[in-house]
């Protein structure tokens, strides 16, 4: 058999300057701020859910975090609410060898939060969101582009199909890359019915 040249990534280093608290939301805030110093886009996260009985992942941007969970904004593409249920978020911050995996329940965020964020977007981006039927096949792509400018004056109000998503976490893993595969993995699991978390260490 021909010798295989396997792909190799960069070696990990042991990090001893990161902090972890009893509350995983505080830990996330610290890790996010730490990664933001070197990561070109620390808000980027992989969002995975089930659509039409198939797993689907896409990259979205974290826009807000509070005690409830993690918020991002997008089109509501499934009228029958297939979008909503259990999901997973993954942050991978390569420059600092850290990642966070979040399992949670996704639901529609309050309209007030979506309205506030809509107003921060530039008018051109609002117009694209207004006229787009996201992920549908464009029969005439050029027509879509020419329709954007006429939609700009109509895009002040957030359309009903563009919403905020809130991911309420029940499981969070904080992963620290280390040499020789001795990765440090800290797991938080929400204790049902009480506002507390159980913290433990996973095998690398």
At 80, the pLDDT band (50, 70, 90 cuts) reads very low
Q: Does this model's pTM top 0.85?
A: yes
Question: Rounded mean pLDDT of 95-100?
Answer: 94
Q: Which long-range contacts (CB under 8 A, 24 or more apart) does 132-137 make?
A: 132/75, 133/75, 134/74, 134/75, 134/77, 135/75, 135/77
Query: CA angle at residue 163 from 161 to 168, to 5 degrees?
Result: 140
Average pLDDT over residues 7-15: 76
Residue 119, pLDDT score: 92
Q: Which residues pair with 167 in a beta bridge?
A: 70, 106
Check residue 9 and give its pLDDT.
80
Domain boundary assignment for the chain = 24-120+159-202
Domain 24-120+159-202: CATH class, spelled out: mainly beta
């Amino acid at each position: 058999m021909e010798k295989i040249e396997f792909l190799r990534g960069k070696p990990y280093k042991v990090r001893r300057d990161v902090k972890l608290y009893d509350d995983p939301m505080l830990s996330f805030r610290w890790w996010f701020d730490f990664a933001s110093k070197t990561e070109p886009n620390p808000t980027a996260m992989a969002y995975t859910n089930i659509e039409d009985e198939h797993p689907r992942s896409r990259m979205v941007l974290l826009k807000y975090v509070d005690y409830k969970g993690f918020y991002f904004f997008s089109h509501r593409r499934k009228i029958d609410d297939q979008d909503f249920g259990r999901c997973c978020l993954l942050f991978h911050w390569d420059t600092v060898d850290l990642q966070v995996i979040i399992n949670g329940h996704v639901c529609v965020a309050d309209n007030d939060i979506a309205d506030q964020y809509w107003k921060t977007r530039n008018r051109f981006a609002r117009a694209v969101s207004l006229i787009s039927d996201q992920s549908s096949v464009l029969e005439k792509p050029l027509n879509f582009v020419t329709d954007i400018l006429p939609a700009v004056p109509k895009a002040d109000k957030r359309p009903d199909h563009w919403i905020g998503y809130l991911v309420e976490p029940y499981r969070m893993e904080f992963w620290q890359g280390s040499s020789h595969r001795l990765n440090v993995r800290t797991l938080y699991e929400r204790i049902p019915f009480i506002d507390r978390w159980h913290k433990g260490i996973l095998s690398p």
